[in-house]
Structure 1
Amino acid sequence: MRFFTTGGGGGSSSARSYEPMATADTTDLRYWLHWQVGLCALWVLGCMSVASYLIWRHEGTGADRRPGGASPSSAAGGDGVDGGKRSRPGVLYDDEAWRPCLRDIHPAWLLAYRLISFFVLLSLLVVIVISDGGNIFYYYTQWTFILVTIYFGLGTALSIYGCSKFADENVAAARADMELGTTYITHAAAAKPSFDEHDGTREIAGFWGYLLQIIYQANAGAVMLTDCVFWFIIFPFLTVKDYNLNFLLIGMHSVNAVFLLGEAALNSLSFPWFRIAYFFLWTALYVIFQWIVHAATPIWWPYPFLDLSSNLAPLWYLAVAVMQLPCYVVFRLVIKLKHHLLAKWFPGSFVRLRGY
């Protein structure tokens, strides 16, 4: 795979971007009969099989009844209260989608952060589309950037719902106190409800809450993979070509990680390990999309290591598949560090994450 960069004037960032050159006619059937294609397909199908198995084994209400599934007593160090329903690592409570990780922080602060993040990401995405056109959606970076934007949009909507519910609960609590004659209760005390997962009163999240959780964990790995591949694999090629980075390119490969790490620091979403499966499926979906497009249209590959005509293609595909593990683990370690520090610094306010 060879690269060329188009320089010179022009107002669009596309005039300053790199574009790989096609090295073979991908619409030719002989291209897809090479031995490299079969081996690369094996890696992709392998990742999808592992992901499907993890989802079947650990996701859903019947996971504890499946062979090898999460048991009520061992899922997250729980004691199996309420039949284990609330101790499985995959269970998401309704309030976890919108409450901050500290009880002293009002949910409106998380709402404000998500709203600002959504506005900035959406604005940047619109500017890039106007500047570079629809071709940007050909890249994994933009796929992931859109997924992060969708996450903050959905998170904003759920935070609005959560703030409304939080306010209603406080009003109801205040009214009950007045009826009981305990008008001396402070607003601060009313604003700090108990979040005991074993008290049997917390509501299990619905479809949108689980969708937020799934997108969150898929983004965790995808953002790390995107930025690592760009800065450690793609960027060295651009440096050799005396390529000058522009604001939009830097933003697409940094802002997403910054906002997502800030979200991870503020929210109270758990991070069960098995949802790496959705990250695997997201990456595999992109690869399959590229194969379908190239089978129908003779076009250049957006990333050099995706070119199946190279003898090193199986190694590249395997390397990217393996890279998914450390990328996901790094984000999980960030969550564990957050848990450790907040539990140490704010023991009375920190909402403990299950599984840590």
Structure 2
Amino acid sequence: MSLLVTSDTTTLSYWLNWRVFLCSVWVLAPIPFAVYILWKYECPDNSKSVKNCHKEHERIFWHGDETWKPCLKQIHPLWLLAFRLVGFFILSATLIADLVVHGFDILLYYTQWTFVLVTIYFGIGSIISICGCYPHCKIATALNAHHAQMDTENGLFIPLSFDGASLEVRRNEKSSIYDLGKLEFANSRLSQIFQVIFQMSAGAVMLTDCVYWFIIFPFLTLKDYDMNVLTVLTHSINLVVLLGDTALNSLRFPWFRISYFIMFTGVYVIFQWIIHASLSLWWPYPFLDLSATFAPVWYLSVALMHLPCYALYALIMGLKRYILYRWFLQ
């Protein structure tokens, strides 16, 4: 959907006015606060943050094994791996088809930025699931073989007394194996990036799909816009597969990581400003045009939408936890 250029965006008069100043405040002001929140809650080496914030509670947000283990023990990790692989190929095929049909100019849209982000999420998630499932299956096979060997050696002999020391040793050996895997993933930068992308893409997907279907789509309907399959897919399939992964995974959803979502949108808007200051191009979204009289109102409205969009996904996560504890974990 290419929009006509309303004015020359490369002139100083376009940028030196009160509308641009207000829009800059709405976009740039939240970024320092987002950085401060991340510095306070995310940095493990920040001793002040550990003292001022929830101490032990603050340190539970990095768990490498949660990136590849399902939310229920009854679900094998291979099912989550299979879903992520299917999701990655569906998203990749849709993105490639969109680029072939509409060209690389489509990447100017925030929707495509979000779509690429979700595709990266499923790509990294597939790699992490493969790395997690392999030692998991290998350890499970070794333990089963060990139990089978012990059963063969003992035959039908069932001791009346319980060898607590032997059982404790076996538990310690098993625990040490899994602790080693947890430590490896907990220290993995890839796992940390993966968890950040999850929170970032969750909010961004809710924002893009809500803005499109509730704001842009009604406007296009009035203009007799010809809807195509790719447009529907790029504004729906990303949310569908992300919700499917959310239903299966065991990732957490801390509120302070809305900061990544805010920074992601801020980077996109700043990128658009730099591009339009250099070249006189059409705006991918009409409410991004700074020459419009109500541009500050639009910018503020979209900025405020970050909170309910992130809260809506947090509500979905809370509903999932409620269902798990109410029906499966009791």
Task: Report deviation, 1:181.
Answer: 5.3
Correspondence list, 1:289-300, <5 A: 289-300=271-282
Deviates more, 1:328-337 or 1:20-29: 20-29
Asked if 1:40 corresponds to 2:23, the answer is yes
- 1:113-151 CA distance string (max 9 Å, x none): 000000001001111111111111010000000000000
Aligned residue among 74, 81, 106 for 2:76 = 106
Equivalent positions of 1:216-255 (< 5 A) are 216-255=198-237
How far off is 1:177 after superposition?
3.7
Q: Is this contact kept in 1: 2:44–2:59, CA < 8 A?
A: no
Shift of 1:67: 7.5
1:124 aligns with 2:106: no
Q: Distance in 1 between matches of 2:46 and 2:314?
A: 22
Which one of the candidate residues 307, 311, 330 is aligned to 2:289?
A: 307
In structure 2, distance between residues paired with 1:202 and 1:125? 34
Mapped partners of 1:277, 1:322: distance in 2? 13
Deviations 1:77-116 (A, max 9, x none): xxxxxxxxxx6243x2221110100001110000000000
Mark the CA change 1:155 to 1:200 in structure 2 (over 3 Å): closer, same or farther.
closer
Match of 2:252 in 1: 270
Match of 1:214 among 193, 196, 207: 196
TM-score with structure 2 setting the length:
0.88
Q: TM-score of the superposition, structure 1-length normalised?
A: 0.81
SS at match of 2:59: coil
One-letter code aligned to 2:318: K
Q: What SS does the aligned partner of 2:3 have?
A: strand
CA separation of 1:125/1:202 partners in 2, compared to 1, >3 Å: closer, same or farther? Answer: closer
Contact 1:276 1:328 in 2 (8 A): yes
* Corresponding residue for residue 52 of structure 1: 35
Structure-2 separation of matches of 1:89 and 1:308: 43
Higher RCO (C-alpha under 8 Å, 6+ residues apart): 2
Other-structure match for 2:160: none
**Aligned match for 1:162, one of 121, 132, 135:** 132
What is the correspondence of 1:1-356 to structure 2 with a 5 Å cutoff?
18-63=1-46, 65-66=48-49, 69-73=52-56, 75=57, 88-90=59-61, 92-177=62-147, 202-203=182-183, 204-347=186-329
Moved more, 336-345 or 164-173: 164-173
Is the Cα–Cα contact under 8 Å of residues 22 and 299 in structure 1 kept in the other structure? yes
Higher gyration radius (CA):
2
Can you list the C-alpha shifts for 1:48-103, whole angstroms capped at 9, x where unaligned? 11210111110021356327743225x2xxxxxxxxxxx6243x222111010000
* Contact 1:34–1:309 (CA under 8 A) maintained in structure 2: no
CA–CA separation in structure 2 for the residues paired with 1:110 and 1:165: 15
Aligned residue number for residue 168 of structure 2: none
Determine the C-alpha separation between the residues in 1 that align with 2:108 and 2:293: 24
State the alpha-carbon separation in 1 of the partners of residues 234 and 152 from structure 2: 54
* Cα-Cα RMSD: 2.4
> In structure 2, what is the Cα distance between the partners aligned to 1:183 and 1:44?
70
Residue 113 of structure 1 aligns with an amino acid whose one-letter code is F
CA contact (8 A) 1:64 1:70 kept: no
Q: Rate the CA distance shift 1:287–1:99 in 2: closer, same or farther, 3 A.
A: same
Deviation at 1:183, TM superposition (A): 7.8
CA change 1:98–1:27 in 2 (3 A) is: same
User: Cα distance 1:261–1:106, how it changes in 2: closer, same or farther (>3 A)?
Assistant: same
* SS of structure 2 residue aligned to 1:276: helix
How far is 1:38 from its partner?
1.1
Q: CA deviation at 1:29?
A: 1.2
Instruction: Say which structure is richer in helix.
Output: 2
Gaps of at least 5 residues in structure 1 are: 1-17, 76-86, 185-189, 349-356
Per the TM alignment, residue 171 of structure 1 is displaced from its structure 2 partner at its CA by: 3.0
For structure 2, list consecutive stretches of 5 or more residues without a partner in the other structure. 155-170
Supply the distance in 1 between the matched residues of 2:201 and 2:300 (Cα, whole angstroms). 21
Question: In structure 2, the residue corresponding to 1:160 is in which secondary structure?
Answer: helix
Assess if the C-alpha contact under 8 Å between 1:223 and 1:257 holds in 2: yes
Distance 1:64 1:100, change over 3 A: farther
The structure 1 segments of at least 4 consecutive aligned residues displaced by more than 6 Å after TM superposition are none
Shift of 1:22: 1.1
Q: State the shift of 1:233 in Å.
A: 1.2
Instruction: Give deviations 1:213-254, integer Å, cap 9, x for gaps.
Output: 000000000000000111111112111111121111000100
Structure 1 residue 178, shift from structure 2 partner = 5.5
Q: 1:28 to 1:106 in 2, by over 3 A?
A: same
Q: Distance in 2 between matches of 1:62 and 1:182?
A: 51
